[in-house]
Amino acid sequence: MAGAPTCRPFTTLLIANRGEIACRIIRTARAMGLRTVAVYSEADRDALHVALADEAVCLGPAPARDSYLDIGKVIDAAHRTGAEGIHPGYGFLSENAGFAQACADAGLVFVGPTAAMMTAMGTKSDARALMQKADVPLVPGYHGEAQDEATLRNAADGIGYPVLVKASAGGGGRGMRIVRSAAELAAAIVSARREAGAAFGDERMLIEKYVENPRHIEVQMIGDSHGNLLSLFERECTLQRRHQKVIEEAPSPTLNAAQRDRVYEAARKAASAVGYIGAGTVEFVSDGKDVFFIEMNTRLQVEHPVTEFITGIDLVEWQLRVAFGEKLPLTQDQIALNGHAIEARVYAEDPNRSFMPSVGRIKTWRTPPEVDGLRIDAGYSEGDAVPPNYDAMLAKVIAWAPTRQAAIRRLARGLDETDVRGIATNIPFLSALVTHADVCANAVDTGFIERHLQELTRPSVAPGETELAAAVAAVLLADSKASSTDPASPWRTAGWMAVGRRRRRFIFRQGQAEHEATFVYGNGPDEIQLGDKNLPFAFAADGSEGMVLTLDGRRSPVVFAVDGRELYLRTRNGRFELHWVDPFGEDDEEQAGEDRIVAPLPGTVVALLAEEGTLLEKGAPILALEVMKMEQTLRAPFAGRLKKIKCKVGDVVQEGVELAEIEATA
């Protein structure tokens, strides 16, 4: 790396973002000797990025429009703290040309491209027009100014279905819909516009030909103010759900040498068209033979760590050096590709409930050590609250190895050793996805997850393993040395008699299934009885995270967490959430009746999709909620009549609030 300049244009950096990207920027900035300033909303008062920064400023209430998206408040926070530079991260204001210009007008260094470059490339429509002039290959589509439904319909009819209705601003899969027939178009436009307006404050749409069985390829670019523009190889982000990237890797396992050269050439044309300065990504879709430009992201990408792993370059450091006015530290010929890297995004969402976002307080946060090619970029820690107001991403698990297969194995191990409790996460889904035979063989396209969703969300525990987990739970419950140190916990019991043989029967529930295990103790070895088998056991402490259990001669580590009657177990054979059925207590939880539609999470009602008195088929849409920046549709659980709607558009509702009532029809 180049040495530090003798005089920098700024020494204090404000990070206009939150979560894992704010934490990641703070770490590099501090390593470079910069003082760091965080900003936060009232919902993020105790967030990790706030604790990591040297100073922090509250911007306002939880809604992003009143805090993280308020340009005036961010600029004022910089002036109040003496910050001379602002790094926008990604999302929020990162591709907002007005924000970049406001920074310049306020005498602040914006760590990113200029407002003019953002204007040229920051919306998909404008970027397509520019790329057409630069002779960059494009997917057939419409990117005009006219946004009335008739114009968009005529464009879609002319292109031919299926088409992609797509928000002109922003990314992350928001405001994007696949439309396979003319009959679906109007509803898709309305829904996509609503979601795009909420996420980006811009409802403009474009229409593209939908490429069947596509692959998503992107090239990392970075330029400086001295005329140097480099490509840092490519990434593949084909594994997506609802147009949102889930797994990313570098380099692409799909491109051959000739295709790679064509992609690099197209990316250089795209970035050169605006004399690009800063880090940015040129994105392409491939049909297996040709590649087509789809957009340029004028910011750092979520998946930038995989590029950092294969190049050895800290992209945030390079962004800051460019902002200092330095030349890029290396030339194109000096950048070498080393090995393979792959990343998985850990989200607060429940794959078993259609990936419904999850909010609440994190009770357990355990990640493996960042050694041997493993990296964890996290925005949360144990005890933190996950609010409903922002993106659901908690962390990224990234692995590097000399080969793709070794990197996949390392990532799978990293995911297996990551435990997050208190909220639902997609970790089991990610583990199933990254180890799927077709993923390992690179036999995928962007529709792979949707086609294999049932398989990927099916419990991966082998038959009989849950019973063994129940045996482990009984050991923990029966022996105070292994269980909770809280004397009031149901997992702590008194010692047992020294003579005779005694038995304690335990029943555990996982989902709707119940499992029984009997603890046999007294004279002779301690045993667990499962059915007609008596299994001897022994255990030893294994640090603060668990124990090593020997059960019937089978020795394995067990990680566990106890919360009241709930027990979480992770063994080599899977993850288990067990509930101890108290034989003397009230055990059934009150649940809402099936005739009531309730808010699954805090959110905002954005659309009513059915009228009172309407006869509904099972699965018919009733209303839409915006939760964690994504639109969630609530549907009829059975065929019936919509008896009552108990909310209106714009209502901010809390979890469990009744929104509608249905009555079954005979």
Using the predicted structure, report yes or no on whether residue 492 has a pLDDT greater than 60: no
What residues contact residue 654 under an 8 Å CB cut-off, 6+ apart? 599, 602
Give tens-digit pLDDT for 430-458: 999 999 999 999 999 999 999 999 999 87
pLDDT at 28: 98
Cis check for the bond before 214: say yes or no (omega within 30 of 0). no
Rounded to whole angstroms, the Cα distance separating 152 from 125 reads 13
Residues of the chain with CATH 3.30.1490.20: 140-209
DSSP character for 544? B
- What fold, for 596-664? OB fold (Dihydrolipoamide Acetyltransferase, E2P) (2.40.50)
Query: SS3 for 442-502, per residue?
Result: CCCCCCHHHHCHHHHHCCCCCCCHHHHHHHHHHHHHHCCCCCCCCCCCCCCCCCCCCCCEE
Q: What is the DSSP letter of 640?
A: E
Tokens representing residue 59 in the block: 């911007």
Q: Dmax of the chain from CA atoms?
A: 90
Closest CA to 350 of 420, 451, 448: 420
In this prediction, residue 658 carries a pLDDT of: 92
How buried is 518 (Cβ within 10 angstroms: 0-12 exposed, 13-18 middle, 19+ buried)? middle
Rounded CA separation 305/220 (Å)? 11
What's the pLDDT at 4?
43
CATH class given for the domain over 339-460: alpha beta
DSSP single-letter state for residue 542: B
Residue 43 has pLDDT above 90, yes or no: yes
Can you point out the beta strands (E) in 523-620? 527-530, 533-541, 546-551, 554-563, 566-571, 574-580, 596-598, 603-608, 615-616
Q: Where are the domain boundaries for CATH 3.30.700.30 in the chain?
A: 465-580
Task: Write out the residue limits of the CATH 3.40.50.20 domain(s) in the chain.
Answer: 12-111
Residues 398 and 377: their CA atoms lie apart, in Å, by 8
The residue from 299, 345, 410, 565 that is catalytic is: 299
Q: Which CATH class is domain 465-580?
A: alpha beta
The amino acid at 182: A
Residues in the chain: 666
CB 492 within 8 A of CB 486: yes
Beta bridge partners of 423: none
Share of the chain above pLDDT 90, in %: 57
Distance of alpha carbon 389 from the chain centroid: 14
Lowest mean pLDDT among 17-21, 112-116, 477-481, 571-575: 477-481
Buried b (16+ CB within 10 A) or exposed e, 536-557: ebebeeeeebbbebebeeeeee
In this structure, whether the domain defined by 125-132+214-325 belongs to CATH 3.30.470.20 is answered with yes
Task: Give CATH 3.30.470.20 domain extents, the chain.
Answer: 125-132+214-325, 339-460
Please indicate whether residue 128 is annotated as part of the active site: no
Which tops the pLDDT comparison, 259 or 217? 217
Into which CATH architecture does domain 140-209 fall?
2-Layer Sandwich (3.30)
* Fold classification of 12-111 (topology level): Rossmann fold (3.40.50)
Q: Could you tell me the pLDDT band of residue 64, with boundaries at 50, 70 and 90?
A: very high
488 versus 447: which is more confidently predicted? 447
Q: Is pLDDT larger for residue 511 or for residue 36? A: 36
The gap from C-alpha 58 to its chain's centroid, in whole angstroms, comes to 25
Nearest to 408 by CA among 391, 387, 429, 432: 432
What integer pLDDT is reported at residue 491 of this predicted model? 44
Extract long-range pairs of 128-132: CB within 8 Å, 24+ residues apart: 128/206, 128/293, 130/273, 130/274, 131/269, 131/270, 131/273, 131/293
Stronger pLDDT, 238 or 479, i.e. the higher one: 238
Tell me which residue of 468, 467, 378, 463 sits closest to 414, measured CA to CA. Answer: 378
Query: pTM of the entire structure?
Result: 0.81
DSSP state letters, 83-109: --EEE--SSTTTT-HHHHHHHHHTTPE
Q: Which residue has tokens 């990504």?
A: 281
End-to-end Cα, the chain, rounded Å: 74
CA distance 471 to 480: 15
**Span(s) in the chain for CATH 2.40.50.100:** 596-664
pLDDT for 569 equals: 85
